[in-house]
Amino acid sequence: MRCLVTGATGYIGGRLAPRLLAQGHTVRCLVRRASRLRDVPWAAQTEIVEADLRRPETLPAAFDGVDVAYYLVHSLGTAGFEAAERESAANFAAAARAAGVRRIVYLGGPEPAAGGKVPSPHLRSRAEVGRILLASGVPTAVLRAAVVIGSGSASFEMLRHLTERLPVMVTPRWVHNRIQPIAVRDVLGYLVGCATLPPQVNRAFDVGGPDVLTFVDMMQRYARVAGLRGRVVLPVRALTPSLSSHWVGLITPVPSSIARPLVESLIQEAVAGEHDIARYVPDPPGGLTGFDRAVELALVKIRNAEVETRWSTASGPDAPAEPLPSDPEWSGGTVYTDVREQVVAAPPAALWWVVEGVGGEHGWYSFPLAWSARGWLDRLVGGVGLRRGRRDPHHLRVGEALDFWRVEQLVPGELLLLRAEMRLPGRAWLELRVEPVEGGGSRYAQRAIFLPRGLAGHAYWNSLLPFHAIVFGGMARNIARTARRRTPRGCTVHAAEHPTDRA
């Protein structure tokens, strides 16, 4: 089928497109600026059409020949978003009907309960968009989901950062409302499955995971999965949605303009009233993904320090729910890095000779007292310290100890990745790279990576910031200087060979 995906530069659309491709569908992406998909690897397999849902004259080319059209856009965080979403949905519906589209699929929010609290503007707008599409004359499937659990989802990022940064928190009463979260992989499974619904199906479906929880439950269970201590939650009646959203905007990287409608939506309980979608799109063989497992998948990227997302892992049954290049900058949790580079007037082989020799009797090429003090401090708290040294003064192997590091990856002549084994409020890596430079010489690239755990992790990294220039900056400069001064005999061999092997 030929599928049109709107919102391909957004959270859900950016994950749906490669899954549709994997199922053998032809994908066309409707975007306002094609340049936003320039660095997305799967985009080369799609057709990209520039159009604007608020300018109906731009839409016919995008809808021409389309079988299934996905409506995955919203104006959350912009002024007057209700009117903007109403206009966009009406234009989308008209263009789909005129082009003879056979199916519309829309991902919306939970239906406000009848007789309940006045729905938030966000939920009210989501429901209105669904009604416009259902009345379009094109068979439409509206999927109504509450909180989507996956790295990059605004709701999940709000949950993640509140839980990680606040071991004790003052909360409003709405944190005790019931919510039925759903893993992003299950949402995407339903979206893909809806492409082949029978033509007579024109209705909304509630979609949710197997767990019904309160927001407090989700914070405590997130903490447990992330290896944090249980959080202390103190409810306070006086916290209005407006005050809560400002607090969320201060503590988390989610912008207040997005946090406010999300917080307002949580005032309404969001529990699925039916599971009729399973009659048309069966649940996965192992069942829908539970909350804890969804969080584990969202944290895979963080725990593995995969700072660059691999989209190719996104379509498999065990794919992590990690960020994509098209996600907002605040997606994916906190990854602190310190990056240093030096251009070295020495062959790559000479530079690699120094890199592979770090640690042990050679030391770490900067501020020896600081490294020694860190080693003693680690031993005082029960860590390994620097006492392990290294097995061989010149050669390393994957898996062996190197002072308070462990060699996690080794590409001779190119890459040394060390995983920290000292006691830390988080996880840390040190990446050392050697690259040839056109015209001679080489480039030394050094990156320290730290994934904080809880508030202590953030405090730890920020407390050491004043010393980074001395420790990490000095290390990069001195490794480069040593490579220039101590070029061993035989350094002109191929970089993959260790220079001392030819000395």
Give me the mean pLDDT over the 126-151 stretch: 94
pLDDT tens-digit map of 188-210? 999 999 999 999 999 999 999 99
DSSP class per residue in 464-503: HHHHHIIIIIHHHHHHHHHHHHT--TTTTS-TTS-GGGG-
pLDDT of residue 248: 67
Q: What is the pTM for the complete model shown?
A: 0.68
CATH code of the domain containing 389: 3.30.530.20
Give me the mean pLDDT over the 240-259 stretch: 65
For helices 256-266 and 121-134, give the axis angle rounded to 10 degrees.
Answer: 80
Same domain, yes or no: 289 and 391? no
320 pLDDT above the threshold of 60: no
Is residue 387 in some structural domain? yes
Is residue 328 in some structural domain? no
Give me the mean pLDDT over the 159-174 stretch: 77
**Alpha-carbon separation of residue 107 from 140, 145, 202, 212 (angstroms):** 11, 7, 14, 20
Categorize the per-residue pLDDT at 500 as very low, low, confident or very high, splitting at 50, 70 and 90. Answer: very low
171 pLDDT above the threshold of 60: yes
Same domain, yes or no: 355 and 308? no
Arithmetic mean of pLDDT over the chain: 83
At 53, is the secondary structure helix, strand, or coil? Answer: coil
Same domain, yes or no: 299 and 351? no
Same domain, yes or no: 196 and 68? yes
Same domain, yes or no: 131 and 254? yes
pLDDT of residue 292: 95
Same domain, yes or no: 376 and 266? no
pLDDT tens-digit map of 279-319? 999 999 889 999 999 999 888 754 544 433 332 333 333 44
What are the residues whose beta carbons fall under 8 Å from the beta carbon of 376, sequence distance 6 or more? 385
Same domain, yes or no: 370 and 308? no
The DSSP bridge pattern shows strands 232-235 and 405-411 to be unpaired
Same domain, yes or no: 120 and 203? yes
User: Using CA atoms, how far apart are residues 11 and 191, in angstroms rounded to an integer?
Assistant: 14
Nearest to 444, CA basis, from 482, 410, 471, 407? 482
Is residue 323 in some structural domain? no
Same domain, yes or no: 366 and 221? no
Is residue 325 in some structural domain? no
Among residues 246, 279, 313, the one where a domain terminates is: 313
User: Using CA atoms, how far apart are residues 277 and 209, in angstroms rounded to an integer?
Assistant: 12
Residue 50 C-alpha from the chain's centroid: 26
Give me the mean pLDDT over the 378-390 stretch: 77
Give me the mean pLDDT over the 173-186 stretch: 87
Is residue 117 in some structural domain? yes
CATH code of the domain containing 279: 3.40.50.720
Nearest to 109, CA basis, from 333, 334, 4, 261? 261
Structural tokens at position 369: 């007292």
pLDDT of residue 387: 73
Among residues 281, 313, 345, the one where a domain terminates is: 313
Categorize the per-residue pLDDT at 425 as very low, low, confident or very high, splitting at 50, 70 and 90. Answer: confident
128 pLDDT above the threshold of 50: yes
Among residues 247, 278, 313, the one where a domain terminates is: 313
Same domain, yes or no: 181 and 247? yes
Same domain, yes or no: 342 and 284? no
Is residue 329 in some structural domain? no
Same domain, yes or no: 66 and 104? yes
Structural domain for 374, as ranges = 336-502
pLDDT of residue 58: 95
User: Using CA atoms, how far apart are residues 328 and 341, in angstroms rounded to an integer?
Assistant: 27
For helices 291-303 and 184-193, give the axis angle rounded to 10 degrees.
Answer: 110
pLDDT of residue 314: 35
User: Using CA atoms, how far apart are residues 263 and 257, in angstroms rounded to an integer?
Assistant: 11
pLDDT of residue 490: 47
Tally of domains within the chain:
2
Structural tokens at position 377: 């401090």
Is residue 51 in some structural domain? yes
Is residue 327 in some structural domain? no
DSSP class per residue in 240-291: -HHHHHHHHHHHSSS-HHHHHHHHHHHTS-B--S--GGGGTSPPPTT-SPPH
User: Using CA atoms, how far apart are residues 267 and 261, in angstroms rounded to an integer?
Assistant: 10
